[in-house]
Amino acid sequence: MLRRLPLYGRTMTMRTSRTTRRGGLVVALATGAVLALAGCTSGASDSADSSSTEMGVEDSAAADVGEVADGDRAALPSSDAVSQDREVVTSGWVSLVADDPAETVGEIATMAETAGGWVESRSQTARTDEIEPSATITIRLPADRVSDTVTALEGAGDVVDVSVDSVDVTATGQDLDARIRALSASVDRLTELIDTAESTSELIEAESELTTRQAELDSLSAQRDQLTEQVAMSTLTVSVSSAPGPTELAPGGFAGGVRAGWSALVSTVDVLIVAIGAALPWILPAALAYLLVRALRRRRAGGSAPGGTDANDPAAPGGGGPGTGHAGDHDDEPRPGRDESTSRSVQMSGTGR
């Protein structure tokens, strides 16, 4: 028993140690599982926390971006503001046909004054045999009254043609404003330099430059004022003409021929009278010149032949025609031609006997 007991005790001891080892292993495995589970749980929580943190940053960044975008949109001018800042010069042309152009133009002038404008120019042409009466008027109107005035013109006559043009001068106005601001600042600086000038040369140079800049500033200011006035007050030109009257038909038959012939005769006489009137200033000097030349010729002829007779006249006493002198000067000279003719006449007379 003594031997068995140790064996039994040894056996029991071995079983107890095996059981203890198994329990420790189980505990170790359980502990490892718990630790692993805890690690997974903490990792999941950490990842969840990091994910939530990242999402929060992204949301805040998105919110910031949205706020910035909203701020940019608020900073940008709206389309209504841009349209209100635009500067447009409007001008128009209207053609009317009315029975009395002069009266119609008077009505248009009243329209312009009622709308807050004025008449800039006005002209009229009366009726003649060749042209019909007409009138033209140019008025200045507030820019927002142009459409209403054009519509009202339909009651003054028959509207034949309407043309309205709009020119955007916003860029021109902004350029003038920028140049005016720059020149104004330059003028202010030059004024300060003049006040603080320490020498006469600096003072003279600053005053000269100030004069130049001030002249440029005045010119730009005048241009800006004119542009502003053109934008505020539109120009509208209205041309009014009368309807052409009925055309008169020329009568036919004998009466028509007589009337046409009489008209042609009157026209011809008118043309001749005009031609004579145009030639009369030339005819009078020509006639005077002719009479003067004729008188000079007579005077020369009277001076060459004493007694008022022409020495070259064959019928004059002692005249022998051209190339001959007095009869006494040539009595002693032989005349072959005359002697032969005389002898022939004597012979013929003797033969006849």
Phi-psi region of 263 (alpha: psi -120 to 50; beta: other; left: phi over 0): alpha
Structure tokens at 327: 């009869």
Strand ordering across the sheet containing 118-125? 118-125, 134-142, 233-241, 88-97, 158-168
Structure tokens at 54: 């990242």
How far is Cα 67 from Cα 70, in angstroms, rounded to an integer?
Answer: 5
Which position has the token pair 């005790």?
9
Q: What's the pLDDT at 49? A: 44
Phi, psi of 28 (to 5 degrees): -65, -45
Beta bridge partners of 241: 97, 134
SS3 233: strand
Candidate ranges 27-31, 43-47, 146-150, 338-342; pick with highest mean pLDDT:
146-150
Q: Is the pLDDT of residue 1 over 80?
A: no
Lowest mean pLDDT among 126-130, 194-198, 242-246, 284-288: 242-246
How far is Cα 29 from Cα 24, in angstroms, rounded to an integer?
Answer: 8
Q: What is the CB neighbour count within 10 angstroms for residue 184?
A: 15
Residues 6+ apart with CB under 8 A from 166: 88, 89, 90
DSSP label at residue 335: -
Q: Is the pLDDT of residue 316 over 70?
A: no
How far is Cα 156 from Cα 244, in angstroms, rounded to an integer?
Answer: 18
Can you tell me the mean pLDDT for 326-345?
Answer: 49
pTM of the model: 0.45
Residues in the chain: 353
Can you tell me the mean pLDDT for 208-221?
Answer: 94
| pLDDT tens digit sequence for 162-176 | 999 999 999 999 999
| pLDDT tens digit sequence for 81-139 | 444 578 999 999 999 999 899 999 999 999 999 999 999 999 998 888 778 899 999 99
Confidence of residue 54 (pLDDT cuts 50, 70, 90): very low
Q: What's the pLDDT at 344? A: 54
Confidence of residue 216 (pLDDT cuts 50, 70, 90): very high
- Give the C-alpha distances (Å, rounded to integers) separating 154 from 104, 105, 113, 244: 11, 13, 18, 20
How far is Cα 77 from Cα 141, in angstroms, rounded to an integer?
Answer: 30
Lowest mean pLDDT among 126-140, 190-204, 305-319: 305-319
Q: Residue 325: name the closest of 312, 336, 339, 309 by CA.
A: 312
How far is Cα 223 from Cα 217, in angstroms, rounded to an integer?
Answer: 10
